[in-house]
Structure 1
Amino acid sequence: MPLQYHPLSREFPQFENEMRALLQADGHFARLAQEYEELDKRIYEVEDGRVAMDEMELLGLKMQRVSLKDEVASMLKNGSAS
């Protein structure tokens, strides 16, 4: 399977409007989204072989990404940071 980035826009296409609104109106959400995107890029670079990293460290990054994705999903479903 080819490597792919996992941008939030691809992960949550059904929340496009909510994501756009939260990115503009909610600083916490914007920071989480930025952190997610940076982490996703870093993981991609390791998996692509551009950056060397221990497997356990990579697994830790992937777990962080899942945690961020869960938090973003919750905020999107609620429509706000709550």
Structure 2
Amino acid sequence: MAVEHHDLAHEFPELKEQIHTLKTTNNHFRRLFDEYHELTIEVEKMENEVVPATTAREEEAKKQRLHLKDELYKMLTAQPA
């Protein structure tokens, strides 16, 4: 089964420029971005059955990733004050 990639560039292709800018200028965004990226790799390994995990653990990781994605999206789309 092919696993869909969930990196931010695939999730928000229209925001690639903002992703790059915030990664290089905002430490908080960069930390969340890195955490999201690491969690995405972990989830993909679980989905591909490279790393054994219970269904509950896999679902919890997906929920964490979704929360991070929501936070990152809010930062990407926030209007400057």
TM-score by shorter chain over 0.5: yes
Unaligned runs of 5+ in 2: none
Is 2:63 aligned against 1:74? no
In structure 1, list runs of 5 or more residues that go unmatched. none
How far apart in 2 are the matches of 1:20 and 1:40? Answer: 18
TM superposition score normalised by structure 2 = 0.92
The 1-side partners of 2:14 and 2:22 are apart by 14
Identity across the alignment (%) = 32
Question: Which residue identity lines up with residue 61 of structure 1 in the other structure?
Answer: A
Equivalent pairs, count: 81
Q: Which has the higher contact order (CA 8 A, sep 6+)?
A: 1
Tell me the alpha carbon deviations over residues 7-28 of structure 1, each in whole angstroms, 9 at most, x when there is no partner: 1011011111111110000000
Any runs of at least 4 consecutive aligned residues in structure 1 with deviations exceeding 3 A, and if so which? none
TM-score by length of 1: 0.91
Residue 40 of structure 1 pairs with residue 40 of structure 2: yes
